[in-house]
Amino acid sequence: METTAIAVNNLVKRYPKSKSAAVDGVSFSVSRGEIFGLLGPNGAGKTTNIGVLTTAIVPTEGSATIMGIDVAADPIEVKRRIAVVPQQSNLDRSLKCREILTFHAAYHGVPRKQREALADKLLDELGLGDRKNEKMKAYSGGMVQRVMIARALMHEPDVLFLDEPTNNLDPQSRLFLWERIQELNAKGLTILLTTHDMDEADQLCHRIAVMDHGKILVNDTPTELKKMIPGGTALEVRASASDDLCNTITAALNAMPGATKVDRVTAANEDFPTWRVYAEAANTLIGPAAQAVLNSGAEVRDLSVKQPSLEEVFIFLTGRHLR
Amino acid sequence: MPPPYNRTAGAIKAFIAIFHRDLVVTGREFIPFLLQALMQPLFFLFIFGKVLPGIGLAAPNFASLMLPGIVALTGMIAAMQGVTLPLVLDLGYAREIDDRLLSPLPVWWVALEKVLFGTLRGAIASSVIFPLGWWILGPGFAVRPDRIPVLIGMVILTALVGSTIGLLMGTVIKPDQISLMFTLIFTPLLFTGCTYYPWGALKNIAWFQILVLFNPLTYAAEGLRYSMVPPMGGHDFPTLALPWILLALGSSVTFMFIMGIRTFRKRVVT
């Protein structure tokens, strides 16, 4: 049995009118049963990448396969095995909610009885059972997203593509979708998602490729990616100190043995000055850091050990914030 | 073990399902569709077929010459609109067509389905003109019983011409150009298509008689006149010759379809 679900090899997509390539020599592979994330800012080439994998875009160079089938050579066979949930709704608004699902399955040759039963089951699972005979006009963003996911599952694909699945959703809908995505994956579905949301990538993905300017910068598990931060972990120190004391505290924290880097961080909603001390093992610095603050003549308000986030990994790699 | 997947059968199933989808959607808005297609011909028939001859501004047989033109125009426009409008919106921003493009069939079959469904719409709109004409024109209403098969063929071919033009327009026009393009394309099409006058009668305005030959609607209208206008004084009513009509309409369908499919592919697979 094929263990690689997606294989991308030196993929390049250049548009005639654009100077730089939208996708510029990208390679990665996704195993069956994995949730793989493409993370990067808008315009990084994530959607173009998905476009090639879902047969809507023809690559300029390189190749890609889904379940061992070449996307450029045999798009029809690829379409049978994939499902796509795009960034913006492309639901068929002339149809009622349930019909969107049953017609999708009919396009894929699912027999009538089977598709009607599956549609009812999925609509119930996604909490849409009581609105299945409505047209899509009255639906909220979160519901549109759920219907698109239900539709995607109607022909039982091997690989699901989710392009920015929770962009612009309220927190409740986001959590709901995250849970559904994890459930689907637990049942064996391979998922490739794009996101510019660090939290989302961290919560959902087994592996993440960070993209910028059409290239993949790194590709690893979230835990490994976070180890790229100098020192690995961080200690956050909050202290009530006057402005002139702050420099003394920075110097004292810097002087601690084991501290690789010290940053003053500014958070808008915090009343107290805050520092980040990066270190190999930040937990061993709790005592010394408290001592350093006290010795400077200030008072400790809070000490906490932080696992560096993907946000910081991205800043570390590109020198820019994601948005 | 499930039986091995048959691609051709899968593609045909997908095609039928997509056609079924269009039937369901159009079936739901059948009355608005008919109103949209028939409002204009209704008034044309009444004013040109009843009022003008009635007050002596048009010859009494004008109605029987104009009816075939109205049948051609209605079928062609209904077919064209049925393809162009949804396609412009879908390819422009709505992308509702994506689901069909991701179905396991060749991408150009999706365009073929649009054309066939548009043809069906056009043929239905044309067909409804007959009872309407019979009702409004009374004794002025005429078809040639000996040419019914030609008539049926012409109605279908006319709709096919319309839907293939619709395919090309739908893939070329951008959403913000819709109203301008409709004015620029429909108005000339409407008035240079021998809808309201037979081609032979234009012999006194030679340049115009040649100009209208570039409009496919001319051939459709003349073909319908060939199969509808009864003989007068023992002579068949003179129209363009049927082989020329078929050649022109066939060429138009082939050219528009091939060009339309090409631009369609360019729009959906980049």
pLDDT digits (tens, 9 = 90+) for A116-171: 999 999 998 888 888 778 887 777 778 888 899 899 999 989 999 999 888 777 88
pLDDT band at A203 (very low <50, low <70, confident <90, very high): confident
- Are A105 and A146 part of one and the same domain? yes
Mutation site, B99, B105, B109, B270, interface A, largest A CB count within 10 A: B99
Interface residue B24 vs chain A (CB under 8 A): yes
Exposure b/e, A274-289, CB count within 10 A at least 16 = b: bbbbbbeebeebeebb
Number of domains within chain A: 2
- Are A202 and A237 part of one and the same domain? no
Residue A252 lies in a domain: yes
- Concatenated DSSP letters of B103-146: SSS-HHHHHHHHHHHHHHHHHHHHHHHHHHHHHHHGGG----GG
B contacts of A104 (beta carbons < 8 Å): 99
Pairwise CA distance, residues B259 & A48, whole Å? 27
State yes or no: pLDDT of A321 exceeds 70.
Answer: no
pLDDT band at A230 (very low <50, low <70, confident <90, very high): low
ipTM: 0.88
Q: How high is the pLDDT of residue B220?
A: 94
pLDDT band at A71 (very low <50, low <70, confident <90, very high): very high
State yes or no: pLDDT of A239 exceeds 60.
Answer: yes
* Token pair 């609105």 in the structure block, residue: A131
- Are A178 and A301 part of one and the same domain? no
Number of alpha carbons in the 13 Å side-chain half-sphere of residue A88: 5
Backbone φ and ψ for A163, nearest 5 degrees, come out as -95, 110
* Token pair 């796509």 in the structure block, residue: A84
* Largest CA-CA distance found in chain A, in angstroms, rounded: 77
Single-letter code of the amino acid located at A188 = G
Mark which of A175, A207, A225 sits at the end of a domain: A225
Helix axes B242-268, B216-228, angle to 10 degrees: 140
- Are A31 and A122 part of one and the same domain? yes
State yes or no: pLDDT of A319 exceeds 90.
Answer: no
Residue A120 token pair: 């009812």
- Are A79 and A210 part of one and the same domain? yes
Please name the residue of chain A whose CA is at the shortest distance from the CA of residue B100.
A107
Residue A323 lies in a domain: no
Q: How high is the pLDDT of residue B165?
A: 95
Pairwise CA distance, residues A277 & A293, whole Å? 13
- Are A221 and A243 part of one and the same domain? no
Q: Give the list of residues 6+ apart from residue A148 with CB closer than 8 angstroms, or none.
A: A85, A86, A89, A90, A91
- Considering only CB atoms, A80 lies closest to which of B28, B104, B107, namely B104
Q: How high is the pLDDT of residue B119?
A: 97
Mutation site, A107, A110, A147, interface B, largest B CB count within 10 A: A107
Q: From the CB of residue B179, how many other CB atoms can be counted at a distance below 10 Å?
A: 8
Mark which of A195, A225, A255 sits at the end of a domain: A225
Pairwise CA distance, residues B35 & A47, whole Å? 42
Domain containing A260 — which CATH number? 3.30.70.920
B contacts of A107 (beta carbons < 8 Å): 14, 17-18, 99-100, 103-104
Q: What percentage of chain A exceeds 70 in pLDDT? A: 94
Chain A residues at the B interface, defined by Cβ less than 8 Å, are 15, 51, 54-58, 75-77, 79-80, 82-84, 86, 88, 90-95, 99-100, 103-104, 106-109, 151
CA angle B131, B135, B140 (to 5 degrees): 100
pLDDT band at A186 (very low <50, low <70, confident <90, very high): very high
CA angle A89, A95, A99 (to 5 degrees): 100
Q: Which helix (H) or strand (E) holds B260?
A: helix B242-268
Q: Give the list of residues 6+ apart from residue A272 with CB closer than 8 angstroms, or none.
A: A238, A239, A240, A241, A301, A302
Residue B226 token pair: 């060939």
Chain B: closest CA distance from residue A245 (Å): 58
Q: Which helix (H) or strand (E) holds B26?
A: helix B7-28
Single-letter code of the amino acid located at B74 = T
- Are A178 and A258 part of one and the same domain? no
Pairwise CA distance, residues A252 & A242, whole Å? 15
Regions in chain B scoring below 70 on pLDDT: 1-3
Chain A: closest CA distance from residue B106 (Å): 7
Mark which of A170, A198, A225 sits at the end of a domain: A225
Pairwise CA distance, residues B64 & B225, whole Å? 9
Q: How high is the pLDDT of residue B195?
A: 87
Q: Give the list of residues 6+ apart from residue A142 with CB closer than 8 angstroms, or none.
A: A169, A170, A172, A173, A176, A177
Backbone φ and ψ for A194, nearest 5 degrees, come out as -110, 150
Residue in B173, B189, B225, B181 with CA at minimum distance from that of residue B62: B225
The answer to whether the Cβ–Cβ distance between B104 and A56 falls below 8 Å is no
Pairwise CA distance, residues A323 & A203, whole Å? 19
- Judge whether B125 and B38 are in contact, CB under 8 Å: yes
Give the N- to C-terminal CA distance of chain B in Å, as an integer. 37
Range of the domain at A26: 4-225
- Are A247 and A152 part of one and the same domain? no
DSSP 8-state class, residue B232: B
- Considering only CB atoms, B96 lies closest to which of A15, A84, A93, namely A93
- Top pLDDT among A27 and A314 is at A27
- Judge whether A28 and A5 are in contact, CB under 8 Å: no
- Are A108 and A18 part of one and the same domain? yes
Q: Give the list of residues 6+ apart from residue A25 with CB closer than 8 angstroms, or none.
A: A10, A11, A12, A62, A214, A215
- Are A123 and A266 part of one and the same domain? no
- Are A201 and A284 part of one and the same domain? no
- Are A217 and A245 part of one and the same domain? no
